[in-house]
Amino acid sequence: MAEATDAGKEASVELPGGTKLSAKGYNVVSLALFGGTLALCGVLYLLWEHKQDSAANQRHLAAAMDKTNAEVTAAFKEVSTSQRLFACIIAQPQDVRLTEFSNENSFCGRMSKLR
């Protein structure tokens, strides 16, 4: 596969498909090792940068999720208050329902805001 001669310091590598690489004055194996080392360093650098970018994105995502969670919690509280108010109003007799619904300080209004 690889052959080197002492006379001219020529090294050659025959690739599958009949292609032949040869170099004079350089060791092809050393060049391949150097190229592989550079490629490995490049891949490691890209992984390192991706890790830092991912950490920054996760911090932004966590902050956005905290804000969203606060908004959803407030919405759930409003829905819960409305459900308690309407459940109380429905439980009242028919003649009292209109006054309970329209009056802010009604019994059902006060009861629905209790937590």
DSSP letter at 25?
S
Q: What is the pLDDT of residue 69?
A: 92
Number of domains in the chain: 1
Which one-letter amino acid corresponds to residue 54?
S
Q: What is the pLDDT of residue 89?
A: 85
Q: Distance (Å, rounded) from C-alpha 99 to C-alpha 75?
A: 26
Is a pLDDT exceeding 80 seen at residue 1? Answer: no
Q: Distance (Å, rounded) from C-alpha 67 to C-alpha 58?
A: 14
Domain that holds residue 76: 2-112
Q: Is residue 88 within 8 Å of residue 100, measured between CB atoms? A: yes
Q: What is the pTM of this model?
A: 0.44
Q: What is the pLDDT of residue 75?
A: 93
Which one-letter amino acid corresponds to residue 111?
M
What's the average model confidence in pLDDT over 21-45? 78
Is a pLDDT exceeding 60 seen at residue 28? Answer: yes
List all residues 6 or more positions away from 33 whose beta carbon is below 8 Å from its beta carbon.
Answer: none
Is a pLDDT exceeding 90 seen at residue 94? Answer: no
